[in-house]
Amino acid sequence: MAGDTAYIARVVATYWFVSISMVYLNKVLMSSESVSIQAPLFITWFQCVVTTLICWMAGRISESIKQSEGLPVSGSGSKKSFFSQFPKAQYNPDIGKKILPLSVIFVGMITFNNLCLKNVEVSFYNVARSLTIVFNVALSQVILGSTTSSRTGVCLLIVIAGFFMGAKGEVNFTMLGTAFGICSSLFVSLNSIVTKKVLPAVDNDHWKLCFYNNVNACVLFMPLMAYFEAHTIFAAMGKEMISPLFWGAMMVAGVFGFSIGIVTVMQIKATSPLSHNISGTAKAAVQSMMAFYIWKNEATVMGVAGMFVVLGGSLLYTVVKMREGKKPAASKEEIESSKK
């Protein structure tokens, strides 16, 4: 029992470290003129490149392990190796076309997410993106035909109230950054719904989907970078683009971006979906409170209250949806939406 507790504590601590570090490092890359360049699309594109390369390398290692153990390369592999969970990363254009609609949404999701982080204070970041569950419920009703209980509706009203309280109390409030946060929330919700529709195209393998999604994203970002950021990138060729600090931060951020998927799965397996969401809510609170100290963000009573109202409403929503998901009368769509 003590060993299990220690393992769970390590997994949760790792999830917190990776998640918080990724947000803070991305904030530096998006906002710091002394470390980075003002090219958020290029930075986001590079993180997709890193994820693609890691998926490819992990697939090659997995393939080698399976061959050495006499297992079929297309099989699930041995559970003894961490890398056995990764499939061979091989791009099929026909499958890539089927994944393309999701990839367009994915590009919008990560782009608006980073633009939000660039334009708002770190302490306000979670509030700016807090409407995800509202869009989840709304889009699930429209696209999946699921129903919403009155308890869920109350939770959503709490989150919406917290959002407006946080916006009202934010000292350095920006409409642009908040708009990016709302767009990010919308695309996160669309991403979760469309993911379920395209998963069968990759044999319901999330890592294979990750590979295809990021390969497509790398291509989709190129015309956007050429149109919006070509001048900025070329202007930085003799400065930041040859800085070891800049590329070191870019590489670490890319690795963190890939690792968050791994540690999320680890935390869910070590605890439960409900415990994972509770941990994520607590992590968001700590992340925001630390930002007041690390980033010297100004705090107001209204702003802090709004942040905790959002987190409280999100936590209550998680508990309600998990309980509703256990009811025999719950629809399949409602049960699936409770896992988001």
Q: What is the mean pLDDT of residues 294-319?
A: 94
Predicted confidence at residue 274, as pLDDT, reads: 81
Q: What is the mean pLDDT of residues 274-282?
A: 90
pLDDT exceeds cutoff 90 at 213: yes
- Who wins on pLDDT, 221 or 339? 221
Average pLDDT over the chain reads: 90
Q: For residues 53 and 20, is the Cβ–Cβ distance under 8 A? A: no
pLDDT exceeds cutoff 50 at 145: yes
Task: Please return the burial class of 260, using the count of CB atoms within 10 Å of its CB with bins 0-12, 13-18 and 19+.
Answer: middle
How does pLDDT run across 105-133, given as a tens digit for each residue? 999 999 999 999 999 999 999 999 999 99
Instruction: Give dist(CA 85, CA 74) in Å, integer.
Output: 11
Instruction: Give dist(CA 67, CA 71) in Å, integer.
Output: 6
Q: What is the mean pLDDT of residues 215-231?
A: 97
Which residue shows structure tokens 């990764």?
86
Angle of the 40-68 helix axis to the 206-228 helix axis, nearest 10:
150
Residue 2: which pLDDT band, with cuts at 50, 70 and 90?
Answer: low
Predicted confidence at residue 15, as pLDDT, reads: 97
Q: What is the mean pLDDT of residues 17-25?
A: 97
Predicted confidence at residue 71, as pLDDT, reads: 61
pLDDT exceeds cutoff 90 at 238: no
Predicted confidence at residue 67, as pLDDT, reads: 82
Which residue shows structure tokens 């003894």?
80
Which residue shows structure tokens 């290029």?
42
How does pLDDT run across 44-102, given as a tens digit for each residue? 999 999 999 999 999 999 989 888 876 665 544 445 678 888 999 999 999 999 999 99
Q: How many other C-beta atoms lie within 10 A of the C-beta of residue 268?
A: 18
Instruction: Give dist(CA 302, CA 156) in Å, integer.
Output: 19
> Could you tell me the sign of the dihedral formed by the alpha carbons of 77, 19, 46, 34, in that order?
negative
pLDDT exceeds cutoff 50 at 280: yes
How does pLDDT run across 153-163, given as a tens digit for each residue? 999 999 999 99
CA 285, distance to chain mean position in Å, is 17
Q: What is the mean pLDDT of residues 214-238?
A: 96
Half-sphere exposure for 210 (CA within 13 Å, toward CB): 25
How does pLDDT run across 264-274, given as a tens digit for each residue? 989 998 988 88
pLDDT exceeds cutoff 80 at 27: yes
